[in-house]
Amino acid sequence: MRISFLFCLLLSAMHTRSQPPIPDPWPLSVIRNVNVLPMDRDTVLRNQDVWVRNGIIEKITGAEKKGSRKDAREINGTGKFLMPGLAEMHAHVPPVDNLAPMKEVLTLFAVNGITTIRGMLGHPLHLELRTKIRTGEIPGPRLITSGPSLNGNSVKTPEDGPRIVEAQKEAGYDFLKLHPGLTPETFAPIVARAKELKMPFAGHVSFKVGVQRAIDAGYATIDHMDGFMEYLVPGMESVSEQEAGPFALYVGDRADLSRIPSLVEALLARQIWVVPTQSIYEKWFSPAPAEDFISRPEMVYMSPQTRAAWVNSKKNVISQPQFNKEKVIRYMENRRVLLKALYDGGVGILLGSDAPQVFDVPGFSAHDELVYYVLAGLTPYQALRTGTVHAGLFLKDDRMGTIRPGSYADLVLLSANPLESINNTRKIEGVMLQGRWMDQSHIAQTLKSLEKK
């Protein structure tokens, strides 16, 4: 059931006007007199010059009063705030035999300050796309990609899974994506072969597999907090998947929150990271009408077909006889309590919103996700860490997620301080993507070119 929800709602591409090319990087750039959020600590470094050479932060110095340098591109940061680019760790790139719609999605991420994405529904052409991004032939966020998912349709026997694992390892995908529909009998051989080949796996927890077995298997990330609510609801052994509803929507209101510490302990023991994708559930499952979301300005970047599919999907959920407004509100409150408890308990949380999916437009929805983290009780600094420092820790890349010498020049210039209000992450004055600078004018022009008729 859940596979059909997620597979059928991917972005459908339509023709757009030509996009302005992302500018080529300068060998040397300097962002002058800017307030820096280093993100390795909760502070603001006031009035700094940030020097970038060949896509890497070279040095950070006190603002110089001397004249401009002819050999450097100078960016005025006076009164503005510089933070690391965000990593969207549950993204979707269209799984189609055409680079054009892929480039559109990458561009939407980039102009919103998303400088790294983890693609969660792979396609053979994504391997070529990843290479072209690395070489600079196609400017875009750094791409980490899974292969096509392993699910109840692609893995029907215990022998199917290991063959797919071997093929995806040979092809060069970064990790395996697990979707619903697996059983204990088909899941175990996948895990065994993946571990033999040192191939990470991540994604959904199939209902019949259950979260305890998933944790014991050693997922790299469990996404959507899938299986967590089922773990917290007493008596789930006598509840069918259909009765529970998608992501335990129909039973999650009666979660026993006193069981959260044991879940936290299990996740910590296996060092499993969590990508909540809270945004999609706050929009898709909330009792609020579809019109509240489909009228948002960013919907102009989705095709009419996609928008209609999203509206129909939401209406289908809230029209079900099992859908109870009061119970769904409690379900959503329980998800927020769980998210906060996971963070406070030391479980690694990664920013991810599942875009493009129901009312989640690429790039824009990552900022929504940050808002929902704060609504769950995280501070703005804690929320920002999920998309910056935590991504670097998860990927074991100390050049990601901070502003310090040696870090990637993946940067976002804001007109206001996001540590004071998380909504300020949307106030983008410019984005530097691997040394390529996009100013506010370029971003506006690019977004105009991506509007759908």
pLDDT at 72: 87
Residue 138: phi and psi, rounded to 5, are -120, 110
Q: Is residue 252 part of a domain?
A: yes
- CA–CA separation, 253 and 248 (whole Å): 9
Mean pLDDT, residues 26-38 taken together = 95
Give the tens place of pLDDT for each residue, 107-139.
999 999 999 999 999 999 999 999 999 998 999
> Which string of DSSP letters, residue by residue, matches 146-166?
B-SPB-TTT--STTHHHHHHH
Reduced to 3 states (helix: H, G, I; strand: E, B; else coil), residue 1 is coil
Residue type, 318: I
Structural domain for 163, as ranges:
2-22+85-401
With a cut of 50, say whether residue 4 has pLDDT above it: no
Give residue 250's pLDDT. 97
* Domain-located, residue 441: no
Give mean pLDDT, residues 179-191.
98
Work out the mean pLDDT of the chain and round it to a whole number.
94
Q: What is the pLDDT of residues 373-432, one digit of tens each?
A: 999 999 999 999 999 999 999 999 999 999 999 999 999 999 999 999 999 999 999 999
What's the structural domain count of the chain? Answer: 1
CATH of the domain at 231: 3.20.20.140
How confident is residue 17, by pLDDT bands cut at 50, 70 and 90?
low
| Cα dihedral 164, 167, 171, 174 in deg (nearest 10) | 40
Residue in the structure block whose two tokens are 């009666």: 254
Q: Is residue 70 part of a domain?
A: no
Residue 157 predicted with pLDDT over 60: yes
Q: Does the residue 364 lie in any domain?
A: yes
How large is the average pLDDT for residues 220-230?
Answer: 98
Instruction: Report which of 345, 84, 310, 147 is spatially closest to residue 228, judged by C-alpha positions.
Output: 345
> 52 in a domain, yes or no?
no
**What pLDDT, on the 0 to 100 scale, is given for residue 71?**
82
Kindly state the average pLDDT of the residues 317-344: 97
Average of per-residue pLDDT across 56-75: 84
Q: State the pLDDT confidence band at 192, using cuts at 50, 70 and 90.
A: very high
Q: Average of pLDDT values for 266-290?
A: 97
| Domain membership flag for residue 74 | no
Cα distance between residue 140 and residue 108, in whole Å: 9
Q: Are strands 86-91 and 114-119 parallel, antiparallel or unpaired?
A: parallel
Region 344-352: mean pLDDT is: 98
Contact of 212 with 232, CB cutoff 8 Å: no
Give burial (CB, 10 Å; 0-12/13-18/19+) of 158. Answer: middle
Residue 58 lies in a domain: no
pLDDT bucket at 66, cuts 50 / 70 / 90: low
Residue 56 within any structural domain of the chain: no
- Residue pointed to by tokens 């980039």: 110
